Structure 1
Amino acid sequence: MTPDIQRLNQRLADAQPSATYRIIDRVAERRAQGAKIISLCAGEPDFDTPKHVRDAAIQAIENGHTRYTQVAGVRSLREAVAAKFRRENGLDVTWQDTLVCNGGKQVIYNALAATLNEGDQVIVPAPYWVSYPEMVQLCGGEARIVTCDAETDFKLTPAALAEAINPQTRWLILNSPSNPTGAVYSRDELHALADVLLAHPHVLILADDIYEHLIFDDQAFLTLAQVEPRLASRTLTMNGVSKAYAMTGWRIGFATGPSWLLEAMEKLQGQQTSGASSISQQAALAALEGPKDFIQESRAVFQKRRDLMVALLNDTPGLRCVSPAGAFYAFASCAGLIGRTSPGGRVLHTDEDVAHALLDEADVAVVHGSAFGLGPYIRIAYALDDTSLRKACDAIHAFCNALQ
């Protein structure tokens, strides 16, 4: 008998590849064939990392900061992280209450891997970031998906949360501003969710605040442990420099939370990747301690792009889009396109069909909403210059107008 040497870990075999990266791979294939694709699928700012941050990284190399660091991060960066949480989020923490990881994704994965056992459940409001359910499954848990549609502005309600909680519930993941919808929870909405959670002391909360600084219309950002300090002892508040400072490739995420959890996450990271890049940590330190003009300027640009994108999408036959309150995504309903036939002869049965038809026939890449747990929608990242966004929307409009 031939041994089955290609046998995979069953959890990995059951996991789905990232839908976002599958579309990105298709974009690369089309471009290799000579197609001029406008990609609206990647979740990263199109701006350069601020110069003072880049300069700090270069100086770090010159100064010899090129060796291993402590697993939890260098103390100077952890002090800056703690200061950020105190200054911007009203959380009473010190540097010992922080952990630095290789990107925000590792923060989330470490937390789940350190705490989930077979049978544990994680409440994941949908629409969700594509990686949440897959990470839960890979860590041995079960994602309890709670659909939050347009009637609730794509936000979790107290009633839906209360109904989802059971004795097996281990975590609630709360993302505000949201990827993919841009939804932002207000103080009153967070208070209402907190009231439910206070009645269920066995539930941990993961507050994914990575889009914190991309919030529009002069709204104030609030995180759950700030609104309800009684939940701080079981809340992991995570953030990073990727979105706010256009540092996606630097791979620095960080968190604060209860000491027992951070210790477990550090233990796991020590056997997994060890500390984050020494150069990236020095760059992140410069970002957190340096001037914040970049945040204000980029936010103003994204708000203008949001207004442009929403107006153009709502002027397109078959598409409807509410104005997102944050992040840099438009989550547009494509229900009006379902059942129709594209100029190339493709019948649009699903939002995934819509996304692939737009890529193949209009040379515009978007991600289907069902990959985020809710269809029929498409997620459009407006992290491109105005000229490219207008060109993409013109192509989408022409495609939709030509449907049979």
Structure 2
Amino acid sequence: MRLNEAAARLPGSGIREIMELALRRPDAIRLEIGDPDFDTPPHVAEAAARAAADGATHYASTVGIPPLRVALAEKVLARNGFAVAPEQVVVTQGATQGIFTALAALANRGDEVLVPDPAWPNYLMMTGLLGLDAVRYPLTADTGFLPDVDRLAELVTPRTRVLLVNSPSNPVGTVADRDRIAALAEFAPERVVSAYSFSKTYAMTGWRIGYLAVPAGIAGVVAKCQETVVACVSTPTRHAALAALTGPQDRVAEMRAAYRSRRDLVVALAEEGGLELPTPTGAFYGWVDIGRSHPGAAHEFAVDLLARHGVAVAPGTAFGPAGEGYVRLSPAAAGEDLAEGVRRLALAVTGA
């Protein structure tokens, strides 16, 4: 059977590779995937069940139910600091589909997209499937693993169409400060699409719901692109998202405190074990330097760590060439597993 060439060339995810290996080991300490070990807050799940029981099981608007779009516009203003009208909000099947849809709306085949290196591998999968040329821009230790506008400017060509910025960073865990975000926004004036997700904040990874805040002039195009892929997000899930956003936030505060505690535990254990790990300022990932002890062997190290030590981490090369010499760990695991996993990782890296 003849295949779409772009689809056939898509690289597999190096994260998923380790995850599949880890699934074969029930005793593995799972630090390779960014999935909260918390359950969705009960009132959120109850809202979805109630909506379904009340008949909210039919098609709904492609872009989202009106109360949710209003609440999301209010959240963007209150939390993110810029104003959008509800008509500029598009509710998506997770941030992943939202980003794919935005790229489809903004870029033509052969256009260039500036993509961070290291970066979540799905960005390259999206650009490849859409026939776009990904141009990697480096995130390096000398800039705090944050995008540098001067370096970005050097990569711009007449074919450059999109700059993709990920903050908080997956895999590095860094957060771009307000001044840097302002500089990046000035670099791309009045052409900013922001993608958000409920997945981590509300422990809703399996619900697959996110949203875009887009310039008014392209909202309709984004909506049409979305309609070709998913028609609309699950209707009960939209009601769950509305409950998450407008209901009590105490569970969010509890999870945030737990992640901060785990982050501090990982950093302390890493220092104690002789690991080089910059303190993550956002997300829940740790970017561990293994380059001195295992140069050029991030993938082999991750596979061996799982096979010999029972600890699953993502090899840095899963996130691009700049990830060589690193592994990513996720402190989304429970405290005891996390402590033991970092201890074993330190032993494997240092040989102590």
Short-chain TM bin: over 0.9
C-alpha deviation, 1:402, in angstroms: 4.1
C-alpha deviation, 1:401, in angstroms: 4.9
SS class of match (1:170): strand
Corresponding residue for residue 16 of structure 2: 21
Q: Which amino acid aligns with 2:264?
A: D
C-alpha deviation, 1:54, in angstroms: 1.4
Q: 2:262 and 2:134 mapped to 1: Cα distance?
A: 34
Deviations 1:46-65 (A, max 9, x none): 11111111111121122111
Deviations 1:133-171 (A, max 9, x none): 221111111111011111111111121111111211100
Q: 2:333 and 2:261 mapped to 1: Cα distance?
A: 12
Please tell me whether the aligned partners of residues 101 and 253 of structure 1 are also in contact (alpha carbons under 8 angstroms).
Answer: yes
C-alpha deviation, 1:337, in angstroms: 2.2
Please tell me whether the aligned partners of residues 241 and 252 of structure 1 are also in contact (alpha carbons under 8 angstroms).
Answer: yes
Q: Which amino acid aligns with 2:59?
A: Y
Count of paired positions = 350
Structure 1 residue 280 and structure 2 residue 229: aligned? no
Deviations 1:62-112 (A, max 9, x none): 211111111111112111111111221222222111101111100000011
Of 300, 305, 311, which residue of structure 2 is paired with 1:364? 311
Please tell me whether the aligned partners of residues 111 and 261 of structure 1 are also in contact (alpha carbons under 8 angstroms).
Answer: no
SS class of match (1:384): coil
Corresponding residue for residue 251 of structure 1: 208
Of 315, 321, 343, which residue of structure 1 is paired with 2:277? 321
The correspondence of residues 51-200 of structure 1 with structure 2, limited to 5 A, is 51-195=42-186, 197=187
C-alpha deviation, 1:338, in angstroms: 1.2
Moved more, 263-272 or 236-245: 263-272
Corresponding residue for residue 385 of structure 1: 334
Q: Which amino acid aligns with 2:294?
A: I
Please tell me whether the aligned partners of residues 123 and 145 of structure 1 are also in contact (alpha carbons under 8 angstroms).
Answer: yes
Q: 2:40 and 2:159 mapped to 1: Cα distance?
A: 43
Structure 1 residue 376 and structure 2 residue 333: aligned? no
C-alpha deviation, 1:394, in angstroms: 2.5
Q: 2:35 and 2:335 mapped to 1: Cα distance?
A: 16
Please tell me whether the aligned partners of residues 37 and 363 of structure 1 are also in contact (alpha carbons under 8 angstroms).
Answer: yes
Q: 1:402 and 1:126 mapped to 2: Cα distance?
A: 29
Please tell me whether the aligned partners of residues 316 and 400 of structure 1 are also in contact (alpha carbons under 8 angstroms).
Answer: no
Q: Which amino acid aligns with 2:203?
A: A
Closer, same or farther: CA 351–94 of 1 in aligned 2, 3 Å: same
Of 261, 273, 287, which residue of structure 2 is paired with 1:304? 261
Please tell me whether the aligned partners of residues 19 and 367 of structure 1 are also in contact (alpha carbons under 8 angstroms).
Answer: yes
Moved more, 390-399 or 71-80: 390-399
SS class of match (1:332): strand
Corresponding residue for residue 215 of structure 1: none
The correspondence of residues 333-348 of structure 1 with structure 2, limited to 5 A, is 333-338=289-294
Structure 1 residue 237 and structure 2 residue 228: aligned? no
Structure 1 residue 399 and structure 2 residue 311: aligned? no
Please tell me whether the aligned partners of residues 331 and 377 of structure 1 are also in contact (alpha carbons under 8 angstroms).
Answer: yes
Please tell me whether the aligned partners of residues 101 and 252 of structure 1 are also in contact (alpha carbons under 8 angstroms).
Answer: yes
Q: Which amino acid aligns with 1:132?
A: Y
Please tell me whether the aligned partners of residues 126 and 154 of structure 1 are also in contact (alpha carbons under 8 angstroms).
Answer: no
Of 263, 274, 288, which residue of structure 2 is paired with 1:332? 288
Q: How large is the Cα RMSD of the aligned pairs?
A: 1.5
- Structure 1 portions without partners, runs of 5+: 198-202, 204-230, 340-348
Q: 1:402 and 1:164 mapped to 2: Cα distance?
A: 40
C-alpha deviation, 1:295, in angstroms: 2.1
Structure 1 residue 355 and structure 2 residue 290: aligned? no
Deviations 1:244-267 (A, max 9, x none): 111001111101111332211211
Please tell me whether the aligned partners of residues 14 and 317 of structure 2 are also in contact (alpha carbons under 8 angstroms).
Answer: no
SS class of match (1:174): coil
Q: 1:304 and 1:281 mapped to 2: Cα distance?
A: 31
Q: 1:401 and 1:321 mapped to 2: Cα distance?
A: 13
Deviations 1:358-380 (A, max 9, x none): 11100000001111122110000
Q: 2:111 and 2:72 mapped to 1: Cα distance?
A: 31
Q: 1:261 and 1:30 mapped to 2: Cα distance?
A: 47
Please tell me whether the aligned partners of residues 98 and 257 of structure 1 are also in contact (alpha carbons under 8 angstroms).
Answer: yes
Of 233, 249, 257, which residue of structure 2 is paired with 1:292? 249
Moved more, 377-386 or 292-301: 292-301
Corresponding residue for residue 48 of structure 1: 39
Deviations 1:253-294 (A, max 9, x none): 101111332211211221221100111111000011111222
Q: Which amino acid aligns with 2:211?
A: F
Q: 2:122 and 2:209 mapped to 1: Cα distance?
A: 18
Q: 1:142 and 1:372 mapped to 2: Cα distance?
A: 17
C-alpha deviation, 1:118, in angstroms: 2.5
C-alpha deviation, 1:395, in angstroms: 2.2
C-alpha deviation, 1:194, in angstroms: 3.6
